[in-house]
Amino acid sequence: MLRPRSCYDESKRFAESATYVYLHKYNLDASVVRIFNTYGPRMQVNDGRVVSNFINAALTNEPITIYGDGTQTRSFCFVSDLVEGLTKVMFTEGTTGEVFNLGNPEEYSMNDLAKKIREMTDSASDIINKELPPDDPKQRRPDISKTERFLNWKPVVSVDKGLLKTIEYYKSINN
C-alpha cells in the first residue's frame, strides 16, 4: 500500500538496488552508505530539516514548531563525524558491496531538542505543536554496530558541542 512517505523510502531502496546492479555488472568498487540526520555549520538556512528550522526560529524569537506531540525521537550526526565515516568507507579494504549506517545512535525527542536549542540561543521562542504528517516515524535511530566493528568508527562530537558550533555559524551569517 502506498503511503505519503512511500516515494522517499522507495527511492532509497531503488538507489541501493541500482548500486548493486552496477557493482556486479561493471565490477565496480562500491558500497552503500545510509546517512542519518546530519547537521552542522554551512547547512542551508531554509533547508527544511529540523535542526535548521529550530535554530532559525530560536534566533529570530519566532515559534519553534514541533510536528506531533514531540515525543518522537531522532538522532543527529555532526558533519565532521559523517565525513570521517565516509572516509573510512572509501579507504578501508573489504568494503565493496557492504552496507554501512553512518549516524549517531544517541536519541533526542523533538521536545528535548527544541528546549535545548531554545536554551542554547537564549531565545524567547514559544514551542508550538502542529499535526504530525502521516507516516512520520516515531523513532529514527541507526544501528551502527557493523560500522563500529568493521570500520572502527563511531561519532565523537556530542550533540551539545555540534549544536553550539552550528548555532555560532547561523549567528555569523545572520549578522
Q: Is the pLDDT of residue 140 over 90?
A: no
Q: Is the pLDDT of residue 135 over 80?
A: no
Find residue 127's DSSP bridge partners. 64
Supply the pLDDT for residue 110.
98
Supply the pLDDT for residue 8.
78
pTM summary value: 0.90
Domains of the chain: 15-174 (3.40.50.720)
The Cα-based distances of 26 to 18, 95, 168 in angstroms read: 12, 17, 45
- Active-site residue identified among 8, 20, 108, 169: 8
Most confident of 4-8, 113-117, 171-175: 113-117
Asked if 8 is an active-site residue, the reply is yes
Supply the pLDDT for residue 134.
78
